[in-house]
Structure formats: C-alpha cells, structure tokens
Copies of this chain bind each other. A is one copy, B any other.
Amino acid sequence: MAGVSQPGPAAPGVAVIAVGSELLALGRADTNSPHIAAAMQRHGLAVRFTTVVGDDLDDLTDAVRHALARADLVVCTGGLGPTDDDRTRDVAAAVLGLPMHEAADVLAGIRERFGRRGLTMPEINRRQAMVPAGAIVVPNERGTAPGLWIPAGHRAMLLLPGPPREMVPMLEHALATHVAPQWGGGLIRQRALVVAGRSESWVDERAQPVYGPWRDEPLPIATTILASLGTVELHLSCRGTDDAALSRRLDAAVAALDAVLGDDVVNHDGRSLERTVGDLLAARGWRVALAESCTGGLVTTRLTDVAGSSTWVDRAVVSYSNAAKVEALGVPAALIAAHGAVSEPVAAAMAEGVRARAGVDVAVAITGIAGPGGGTAEKPVGLVCFAVTGARGTEVRTSRLTGDRAVVRSLAATTALDLLRRYVRASAPA
C-alpha cells in the first residue's frame, strides 16, 4: 500500500470498538473505526485493532475486556441510546469496576434539548444520564446521547455515539481536551494537500520521492495518502515541541510537494473542492450557474452544501430531457440532432445558455452517459462532455470515465468542479 508510514512502536496503543448489531447483520461497513484510526494516526497514536460487535451483552463485555487488556485507550462508538439494547455505558462501567450514578447536569441537558423542540423528555431517555464514577462528559451538540471520557489509571475509555455526524465533532473535542494532554507528547501540526483530477498512483509516483526521506530526518513527517473519487489527499503530520520549527518544516514540505504536483493542487488546508471553488468565486465577486444532464443535480448539490453558497450560486437547470435542453437552456434542437445530446457542442451551448439566462460571470455544463443503459459503440457508458464559459470564452472537454452509474456521476461532478476551479483561478481576484 503506497504512502503509509506508521508511528513508531513507542506510540500508545489504541483499540476501537464499534457497537451495533446492524453492523453485523446488514452488510453495512463500519465507517467510524477507520475515521477514528486516521484521526489517532494524525495525533501520533497507533490503532492496534478495531472490532465490530453486536448488542449481545456477553460479546460486548468480552470485547471491552479484551481491548482494555491490549490497549492504553479504548474508544467505543454506538450503544449510547436510550433503549435496553444500548449497553455500552453499563458494560464499560462493569469491566472497569466503576459504580454508575445519574448525573444531574447531563439529565438537565437532555431535558433542555427536548424542551428546545417543544417536547417533553420521554422517561426512557433518563438512562442516557447514567454515568460511571469519575467519567467526564463529552458534549454532544447534535444529539441526546452524551459522550463519556472515563479515566482508569494509565488507561482510559472514550464512549461516543454511533451516528457519524454526532461522533466526528465529539471525537475532535475529546482528542484536544483529553487525549492530547495525556498522550500527545508535544504539539502535532498538520497540513493536507488536496489534489484533483489525478489518480492515487499518479500522485504517489511524483510525491513519494519527495516525502519518502522525511520520516528518517529530524522532525520526521508522517505522510498518509487518501484517495476518494476524483480527489487525492496528502496528509502531513509532524510532532515536536517548537511551534515555529514545526510550521517552517511543514511549509517547506508543502512547497516541495507543490513543486512536483503543480496546478493539480487544489489547496493546502484540506478544504473540500466545492468550498475551494466557492472561495475562489467569492474572492472575485463572481456568481455561477449550472446546466447538468447526467449528473442530475449532483454538482449543484455539492456546491450548495457549502454554507453561504447563496452568495455565489445563482441557479441550475437539470435538463434531463432533450426538450428541457432546448426550452430551458436555449440549446438549438438542430445542434442536438447534428451532434447528439452527449457532445462538446451541446455542452458548450448548455453552458452558454444558462450563463446568458442567469446573467452570471461563469457557467458550467455536463452532459454524458452515466449508464447502465444508453451506451452505444460510438458513445459508450462513461463518456461525459464538459463546458465552462465566461468572459474569457468557452472551454470544452470530453472524458471517458470508468465505473458504475454512481461512480461515473461522482467522477463527472468532481471533474466539472475542478474545471470550474481552474477557469475561475485563471482570472485575478477582484
């Protein structure tokens, strides 16, 4: 596996337990454990193993006991709800030999959360206020289940709820508040280069000769490569005691990677591609419009995921039918007849049409064949045409994307966002 450099053996060991029968019965992947493992890695802690276990009391007790015997820190996710099947609190307390009590402040917080929505707390939720002796609450801004940090001598347990949107910010809070002071051993400084439009192997081929030696130098930098559909992230992490020295070290590292990766680097701070595009638009006072066919609104959905996007997104037309391309975007029917709906001239006309109607600075269009049906020998599934248009004129591009319907749509959306990024970036900010 490319680009892995593990923390040394001196790093404190972590075990992760994901609790929930649905993870064992329904073929769903546990995404919490890898997220936690990556976060621990960034903090210089090594995850030794992760376990998924159901709600069975005996299995869960065994999993907690076994993890505590092998790790300094045991992180559990799930099983903090209000029902009889939610047993993580009880099992942790029992294995650690700690008595449970009802925490008045936790109970008040849960009541207040229901109250804010005009509801009375059901009596069943009272169970969520039971905490083991010595435990510190990890606040949950997005749900009723409080997290718990439970110190136990030189070890500790961290209990977090299962839903990722609740778990993720609580993990960050616990890492900063409890984990780093106990095991952090100094400062951790990080950077994340986001690269678009290139494969993991393309990135690693260029980056590995640069980052390879870093782990053996003074102030070693740990490097992790994370590939998702259409983007590759290079995470750099450096640990030490001198903040300025860490920053200088990472600045030099980022500059060295920039030198080999060039324009493909989207940013140096891990922002999403869509947020980066939004920031570039905002810096120029530009507004964007979109015309989507095969992506079915996915590009607009991703752009409008960004809070504040109403400042720079004007509108989008999802022109799934040819009639919509003609009526709602002004694409000449003859152009579609001559070149087909999936063609660079139609993509250009879609982008120019939506830009003219919306009166915006820049517009992007996507038309393609997402599959599984609709492909021909000449225009196979995965063929996608793109256009970006603005005051500098119209640029078109055709890609042949590989994968199932969802993959083609996702790759096409990322490609469109990246073309938009390059087009906007080529104009100076206002």
Please tell me if the beta carbons of B318 and A318 are within 8 angstroms of each other in the complex. Answer: yes
Q: Name the interface residues of A1-43: CB closer than 8 Å to any CB of B.
A: 1-4, 6, 20-31, 33-35, 37-38, 41
CA distance A298 to B295 in the complex (A): 11
Tell me, in angstroms, the Cα distance from A318 to B319 when the chains sit together.
11
A324:B314 contact, CB within 8 angstroms: yes
In contact, B26 and A47 (Cβ under 8 angstroms): no
Which of B237, B317, B406 interacts with A165 by CB under 8 Å?
B406
Q: Answer whether residue A112 sits at the interface, using C-beta atoms and an 8 A cutoff.
A: no
A1-B26, A290-B318, A297-B298 known, 14 other contacts, Cβ within 8 Å: A2-B83, A3-B85, A4-B25, A24-B47, A29-B34, A83-B204, A296-B303, A296-B304, A297-B300, A297-B301, A297-B318, A307-B372, A314-B324, A327-B357
> A373 an interface residue at 8 Å Cβ cutoff?
yes
Which residues of chain A from 112 to 158 have a CB within 8 Å of any chain B CB?
Answer: 117, 122, 142
A30 contacts which chain B residues (CB < 8 A)?
Answer: 29-30, 33-34
State how many angstroms separate the Cβ of A26 from the closest Cβ of chain B: 6
Indicate if A376 sits at the interface (CB-CB under 8 A): no
Closest Cβ of chain B: how far from A285's Cβ, in Å?
15
The reply to whether A59 and B49 contact each other, CB–CB distance below 8 Å, is yes
Cβ-based interface call for A252 (8 A): no
- CA distance in complex: A206, B212 (Å): 59
Most buried by B among A122, A290, A358, A407: A358
Query: Which residues in window 49-80 of A have CB below 8 A to B?
Result: 49-56, 59, 62-63, 66, 70, 78-79
Bound complex: CA A343 to CA B63 (Å): 52
**Which residues from chain B contact A31 at a C-beta distance below 8 Å?**
29
User: Top 4 nearest A-B pairs by Cβ distance?
Assistant: A296-B304, A297-B297, A27-B38, A315-B324
Chain A residues 314 to 335 lying within 8 A of chain B, measured CB to CB, are: 314-321, 323-324, 327-328
Q: Contacts A26-B38, A54-B6, A235-B26 given: A309-B324 contact, CB under 8 Å?
A: no
Among candidates B51, B357, B403, B404, residue contacting A49 with C-beta atoms closer than 8 Å: B51
Residues from chain B with a CB closer than 8 A to the CB of A23 are 34, 37
The interface residues of chain A, by DSSP majority, are classed as mixed
Q: Once bound together, how far apart are the Cα atoms of A407 and B307, in whole Å?
A: 13
User: With an 8 A cutoff between CB atoms, is A86 at the interface?
Assistant: yes
Selected contact of A307 from candidates B226, B318, B373, CB within 8 Å: B373
A301 to B321, CA, bound (A): 15
A327 and B79 alpha carbons, distance in the complex (Å) = 51
Residue A178 is within 8 A (CB to CB) of chain B in the complex: no
Q: Residue A310 at the B interface, CB < 8 A?
A: yes
A189 touches B (CB below 8 Å) = no
A371 in the interface, Cβ–Cβ < 8 Å? yes
> Hey, which chain B residues are within 8 Å of A55, CB to CB?
1, 4, 6
- Distance in angstroms from A80 CB to nearest chain B CB is 10
Q: A405: CB under 8 A from chain B?
A: yes
Q: Does A224 contact B (CB under 8 A)?
A: yes
Residues of B within 8 A of A309 (CB): 296, 320
